Structure 1
Amino acid sequence: MKQISVAAFVPPGEHATVARAAHILQAALGDEGAELACATVADFDRLQTATPGTIRIASLTPELDQLDTPWSEVEARLRQNYAALCDSGDTVLVTTIFRHIGAQRDPDRAEALLVRIRRLNLLATELSRAYGLFVVDLDRIFSDVGAVRVLTDYGLDGQAAAELAGHALALGIVDNALDAALPFEAQERVKRAITASQPAIRPAPDLVPGNLMTMGKGRRRQVVSTITDSVQDNHVGWLIRQVLKGQIPPRQAADKLIHAVRRRGVQESLGLLTSGMVRLMGLKPQ
């Protein structure tokens, strides 16, 4: 039986999320002859020294314990840590933080907390582009549902929060981390099984476009479409750079590209490859 290892560095409040994700994954993987071994680790160093081949998951929430530390120092440390973590070549997933802080007695702390959460969430996307890690955007998912319905805040306390976050994390692992363990067809079956078991509280994906944002209030409220840089494009460019630097074997990069072709089709995959090459050369398509 194929064993898939996962190590997660998350605060105690998110242990239930990891446990729920592991439960969902194991239920779907069992039919494919695979077994999941999931463990939480006490600190980032132990995540980095996990056994080669381990899927590594990190939450940014522990960084909220250091609000008094200047952001420049936090950012520099995180960039250094995640660069080293991604150098292993194993899949790394980072979860964003739900931007709801609940009632706070100290308004200054509340403001500092919100600013730090926004900066950390933005940094997650920048780390993805720089080092090729994958982002599980819990902030977007929880914002779609709303704090009132989930009865939680950035700490993700409560059963409903664990259900919602665990399901999102399980999907993130299936989408990005199982290429070395399962063939494409098996991954698709696992994904369908997990998608079918999504929490009732989560809105259907086609009802929540990912590129929409609300601006203004009241009668001036507008929903606009945003055009953003594609993480997929950057990930292809990152793969090419890693091969050229000798940090990823060409075979491993080729396997990932083949998986992308199977998942997205030849036409879209060629577009991603072309875009990745353009970014690698520092050019902008006309």
Structure 2
Amino acid sequence: MLTVKNLSVRIGRKLILHPTDFVLENGQSLALLGRNGAGKSTLVKALAGLLKSRGEIQLEGQVLAQLSARDRSQLIGYVAQDFSASSVRMTVFEMLLLAQNSHNIGFQASAESIEKAQQMLEMLALEELSQRFPDEMSGGQKQLVALALALIRQPRLLLLDEPTSALDLANQMQLLQTVQQYTQQHQICTIMVLHDLNQAHRYADQTMILKEGRQMVRGATPKVLTASQIAQSYGVQCEIFVGSDGARSIHPLAAIAL
């Protein structure tokens, strides 16, 4: 379980993320929504320990600020908006092996770590990229590899910052379905920054909407993503439909003044 109390981020004199509280149960995913500049990425980076913050973050009963950087990295998997390993001269398979043994200098890959790498490639349908270098891949392929590198260490908290931004529609669905299944099967906590409200409807148990660094609303996704709340948060009039598969979908009609 993830428990966040009074988490805030200040850069200089400006409060970028106002004190935020929430709890996320194991096996659940939380979508972070909001307009550009709402503080979504700031919240994710604070949880990952990449930004200095105030407040308390507890994961599985452990206060993250009290852990070493090594121990914290073992608990958290983070996928940034941009995969920054383009200059690394290692194949995808080699990176997956290194990710499992990053604190073991001069390691020799064990049969177990090789098997885990193969299983991760199969799970994300990345077998054909196994022997490729980062600079030989498209942006979408890099995003899928970044997810594989985050999951290979079996984190208890998975943080995804706009994970579908460079993916085509089929790969967006594949990635989010995989994350949803992994979250439930391994009973971890997942937080993902999304811009597509319909993706949140389909793949997130909980949704939080941020506005100007403040938490506007949080709760079960169907209760948060209502027509009135979307109008208030985004300035967009919309209709909500229920499809033949029972999934809800949002149909935007017009922009309105806030």
Given the two structures, how large is their TM-score scaled by the length of structure 2? 0.29
Task: From the two aligned structures, give the one with the greater helix fraction.
Answer: 1
